[in-house]
Amino acid sequence: MTYDRLVCANCAGPVAEGRCRVCRAHRERLQQQGPLGGLSPVALLTLLVLLVAAVALVAAHQPA
């Protein structure tokens, strides 16, 4: 989940605005994790399986 949709429990403001120190700390932590940092291990595994299936499907349709 991206921080632009999160609401801070401390100040009830959007985390993206960084109104309080809790917002700013959480926003910084999310930015350091990168785009896949918030995904669960199950979601990452699902993406990996889908990627492998897509590659296998493309390879199966290539002429020999």
Where is average pLDDT lowest: 21-25, 27-31, 56-60?
27-31
Task: Kindly state the percentage of the chain with pLDDT values over 90.
Answer: 30
What are the domain boundaries of the chain? 15-61
Which token pair is 10? 């401390």
30-56 confidence digits (pLDDT tens): 777 766 666 778 888 999 999 999 999
Q: Find how far residue 34's CA is from the centre of its chain.
A: 7
Q: What per-residue confidence (pLDDT) applies to 20?
A: 92
Please, which residues bridge with residue 7 across strands? 14
Helix (H) or strand (E) holding 41: helix 41-60
| Percent of the chain whose pLDDT exceeds 70 | 84
